[in-house]
Chain A
Amino acid sequence: EADIYQTPRYLVIGTGKKITLECSQTMGHDKMYWYQQDPGMELHLIHYSYGVNSTEKGDLSSESTVSRIRTEHFPLTLESARPSHTSQYLCASSPRTSGGTDTQYFGPGTRLTVL
């Protein structure tokens, strides 16, 4: 069973606030990911990281930023939240594999509502 945690699980916040969504994993995985899931269920990759001090933007343009200072921690920050940021945010991690099967392990998600 994978151990990946996200906090908070639910967040309701006003426009213009700065927020940080936390994601931590205890498996020592090198690779970590952030997805945004729209109400239609589709997943959009917004950020990923290969390891410490490595971050890349994903397919969907996002106003959020991420950092990876420690292997286990991959927080996502919105400097100024807007109603368009209302969504479900899912964090995932995967181990370094060779010849691989890139199984990703997901956290429970953070449901963000911006009023």
Chain B
Amino acid sequence: GDSVTQMEGPVTLSEEAFLTINCTYTATGYPSLFWYVQYPGEGLQLLLKATKADDKGSNKGFEATYRKETTSFHLEKGSVQVSDSAVYFCATGRGSTLGRLYFGRGTQLTVWP
């Protein structure tokens, strides 16, 4: 079945460091790919998405490129801020009537000043 494997955390970085959180997926066909972010005490918010191979999703300085050849959708940011501290979830979905999304286990990011 469909699944997502993402880098285990926690990840701890200093402010302005480069961030990469790895995500690989298993799915048949041509799934859409998502990154969600969860700040403390809140629900998940969509951070970015990509719907076809080679698409790049971007938002708030974060980027991820849909790589079908490596079945990956790694999240990157060139210079993290303290306010980026949160849990990040990678997800895949196939646009079926079910509307199911399959989430990774989440990666906790802490950024220190």
User: Which residues on A are within 8 Å of B, measured CB to CB?
Assistant: 6, 31, 33, 40-43, 45, 48, 50, 90, 92, 94, 97, 99-109
Contacts of B98 in A (CB 8 A): 48, 50
The answer to whether A43 and B89 have CB atoms under 8 Å apart is yes
Contacts of A104 in B (CB 8 A): 44, 46, 99, 101
User: Which residues on B are within 8 Å of A, measured CB to CB?
Assistant: 32, 34, 36, 38, 41-46, 49, 51, 87, 89, 93-101, 103, 105-106, 108
How far is B99's CA from A94's CA once the two chains are assembled, in angstroms?
8
How far is B104's CA from A42's CA once the two chains are assembled, in angstroms?
7
How far is B38's CA from A67's CA once the two chains are assembled, in angstroms?
27
Contacts of A48 in B (CB 8 A): 98-100
Contacts of B96 in A (CB 8 A): 102
Contacts of A40 in B (CB 8 A): 105
Q: Tell me how far the C-beta of B79 lies from the nearest C-beta in chain A, rounded to whole angstroms.
A: 25
Count how many pairs of residues, one from A and one from B, have CB atoms less than 8 Å apart in the complex: 66
Contacts of A94 in B (CB 8 A): 99
Contacts of A108 in B (CB 8 A): 41-43
How far is B77's CA from A5's CA once the two chains are assembled, in angstroms?
30
**Among B41, B44, B95, B106, contact of A100 (Cβ-Cβ < 8 Å):** B95
**Among A50, A102, A106, contact of B93 (Cβ-Cβ < 8 Å):** A102
Given the interface contacts A31-B99, A42-B106, A50-B97, does A102 sit within 8 Å of B44 by beta carbon? no
Closest to A110 in B: B43
Given the interface contacts A41-B108, A50-B97, does A109 sit within 8 Å of B103 by beta carbon? no
The answer to whether A101 and B42 have CB atoms under 8 Å apart is no
Q: Tell me how far the C-beta of A57 lies from the nearest C-beta in chain B, rounded to whole angstroms.
A: 13
Q: Tell me how far the C-beta of B86 lies from the nearest C-beta in chain A, rounded to whole angstroms.
A: 11
